[in-house]
Structure formats: C-alpha cells, structure tokens
Homo-oligomer: A and B are copies of this chain.
Amino acid sequence: MNKDLYDAGLAVRRQVLGDAHVDASLAAATDFTRDIQEYVTQYCWGDLWNRPGLSRQERSLINLAMITALNRSHEFKAHVRGALNNGVSREKIKEVLMQSAFYCGGPAALEAFRLAAEVFEAMDAER
C-alpha cells in the first residue's frame, strides 16, 4: 500500500461521503474486505478524485450519470449523498436523472429517482 496515496484518498472520501459513512466502512473492515477498501481509497479517491480538471461537483454529476447506467443501487445512493455534500443541489441531481431517462431508458431513470428520493427522505429525517 502507498500510505501517502491512501491518506490523501481517505481525506477526500471523508469530505465527499461523510465521516459517518467512512467510519462505518472502516469499522466493518475484515480480512476479506480490507484490500478492496485500500484499492478504492488509493486509486479512486486518492488518485482520480484529487486530479485537477474537473470540480468535485462535476465529478459528482458524472458519477450519478455513470452509476445510473451501471444499475448499482448501493453505490448510487452513497453518491447521491456525496453529491449533496459536494454542494450539488437536489435540482441538479433531478436534471441528471431526467437526462438519463432518454439516454439510459425509462426504467433506469425511474429507479434512480426512487433511490434518490429515499436518500433525501433519510437525510431530512436525520436533521
């Protein structure tokens, strides 16, 4: 493991996904899952998310777009929270999902709207 890259990645990951989410992930790590956590933290969060060229808000928008297409609900919900933490408005999230209705198809968009609404409700309840 590259300790510098990991630490840089962990800092970004905390800022985007929130301390609660990351602390829970770290506490739940086992021998089985530790390596994938390190892989993701270094190469995704430490490398890609620290690159210049796109703002964090732009990275959140394209992530929501990609993960809607990829049909991965757990990650999608984490990145809805991430987008809000990065300052993306609910209105902009809605527009990304509207656009997905044409490009990814109706069933993909309807599912993404359901998942995003669940995140919004959970966050409203946490306040």
Chain A residues in the interface with B (C-beta under 8 A)? 2, 5, 30, 32-33, 35-36, 39-40, 43-44, 47-48, 51, 53-54, 58-59, 61-72, 74-75, 90-92, 94-111, 113-114, 116-117, 120
Contact = CB atoms under 8 A, between A and B. Distances in A.
Contacts of A92: 53-54, 58
Nearest to A64: B62
A32 B65 contact: no
B62 A94 contact: no
Given A92-B53, A92-B54, A105-B70, A110 B61 contact: no
A44 to B, nearest CB: 4
Contacts of A66: 65-66, 68-69, 99-100, 103-104
